[in-house]
Homo-oligomer: A and B are copies of this chain.
Amino acid sequence: MAEPIPSILDDQARNTIGAALQATLVDLIDLSLEAKQAHWNLVGRQFRDVHEHLDELVDVARKYSDQVAERAAAVGVPPDGRTATVAGQSGIPAFNEGWVKDRDVIRQISESVDVAVRRIRPRIQETETADLVTQDLFIEISRQLEQTRWMWQAQNAGYQAEQPAR
Contact with B along A78-90 (1 / 0, CB 8 A): 1111111011001
| Cβ contact of A146, chosen from B30, B50, B87, B133, cutoff 8 A | B133
Contact with B along A124-161 (1 / 0, CB 8 A): 10000000110011011011001101110111011101
Q: Are B42 and A154 in contact (CB under 8 A)?
A: yes
User: This chain: how many copies in the complex?
Assistant: 12
Q: Are B33 and A29 in contact (CB under 8 A)?
A: yes
The total of chain A residues at the interface (CB under 8 A) is 80
A1 partner residues in chain B, CB cutoff 8 A: 43, 98-99, 101, 157, 161
Please report the C-alpha to C-alpha distance between residue A29 and residue B62 in the assembled complex, in whole angstroms: 13
Contact with B along A57-96 (1 / 0, CB 8 A): 0000000011001111111001111111011001000110
Say whether, besides A30-B83, A41-B73, A139 and B142 are in contact (CB < 8 Å). no
Interface centre among A36, A117, A157, A161 (most CB of B within 10 A): A157
A153 partner residues in chain B, CB cutoff 8 A: 4-6
A98 partner residues in chain B, CB cutoff 8 A: 1, 78
- Nearest opposing residue in chain B for A4, CB measure: B157
- Nearest-neighbour CB distance to chain B for A27, whole angstroms, equals 11
Q: Are B147 and A143 in contact (CB under 8 A)?
A: no
